[in-house]
Chain A
Amino acid sequence: QKEVEQNSGPLSVPEGAIASLNCTYSDRGSQSFFWYRQYSGKSPELIMFIYSNGDKEDGRFTAQLNKASQYVSLLIRDSQPSDSATYLCAVNEANQGGKLIFGQGTELSVKP
């Protein structure tokens, strides 16, 4: 059973701090990694994707991938109350086209 694991949280950080969200996956053949943000009662929206080992930065967001450790993370710098949401890690299932396996999500709360 291929799995994607995330701490469910809640993760609470003060406004302006760095929030660090972590995800591990079991399928060594996975090649694509996605972070989605989901506000309460809403559908997921893509924040970032990463395919290669290392860091990828987009504004206040940085995704980090380490395939050897089967670990992917999302850093949010200068966290804002509007970042408060559930963050879902998704990993493609090897040799299954675009099929994604989702983690259960980490709830982030940014306190003003």
Chain B
Amino acid sequence: GAGVSQSPSNKVTEKGKDVELRCDPISGHTALYWYRQSLGQGLEFLIYFQGNSAPDKSGLPSDRFSAERTGGSVSTLTIQRTQQEDSAVYLCASSLASGIQETQYFGPGTRLLVL
């Protein structure tokens, strides 16, 4: 079956522009997570959605970052007024549910470069 997909795979933008990153989770997965990975670093949690519950936004680094999940499936991460320090790989993951024993499956990521 299809895994997690993300688009675009690469994005180059100019400082100050807005960008939108898309994630399509595995069909039937109710939990969806966004992470950020800077060069040579581990994964930094950004936000997660579970079903119709309010998202956990505790990892968003600033109010320039926002995310939504429409219809409990596709999610979009939006970064407004991008800065050079936003350059990173943005990874999306999904799991069947959000329990502590659920495995998260990762998409291929979007590589964002802010010039």
Which A residues have a C-beta under 8 Å from some C-beta of B? 4, 6, 31-32, 34, 42-46, 49, 51, 88, 90, 92, 96-105
| Contact, CB under 8 Å: A99 / B101 | no
Q: Say yes or no: A100-B104 contact (C-beta < 8 A), given A43-B91, A88-B42.
A: yes
B36 to chain A, nearest CB (A): 11
A-B contacts at CB below 8 angstroms, number: 66
Which B residues have a C-beta under 8 Å from some C-beta of A? 31, 33, 35, 40-45, 48, 50, 56, 91, 95, 97-109
A106 to B44, CA, bound (A): 16
A56 to B97, CA, bound (A): 23
A88 to B40, CA, bound (A): 12
Q: Say yes or no: A43-B106 contact (C-beta < 8 A), given A92-B100, A102-B43, A104-B42.
A: yes
A45 to B91, CA, bound (A): 12
A98 to chain B, nearest CB (A): 4
| Contact, CB under 8 Å: A49 / B43 | no
Question: Which residues of chain B come closer than 8 Å to A99, judged between CB atoms?
Answer: 33, 45, 48, 56
| Contact, CB under 8 Å: B50 / A97 | yes
Question: Which residues of chain B come closer than 8 Å to A88, judged between CB atoms?
Answer: 42-43
Question: Which residues of chain A come closer than 8 Å to B48, judged between CB atoms?
Answer: 97-99
- When C-beta atoms are compared, the residue in chain A nearest to B106 turns out to be A43
5 contacts between A and B (CB under 8 A): A44-B91, A96-B56, A99-B33, A100-B45, A102-B45
Q: Say yes or no: A98-B107 contact (C-beta < 8 A), given A44-B43, A51-B101.
A: no
Between B33, B45, B95, the greatest number of chain A beta carbons within 10 A of the residue's beta carbon is seen for B45
A86 to chain B, nearest CB (A): 9
A48 to chain B, nearest CB (A): 10
- When C-beta atoms are compared, the residue in chain B nearest to A92 turns out to be B100
Question: Which residues of chain B come closer than 8 Å to A46, judged between CB atoms?
Answer: 103-105
| Contact, CB under 8 Å: A98 / B45 | no
A77 to B48, CA, bound (A): 35
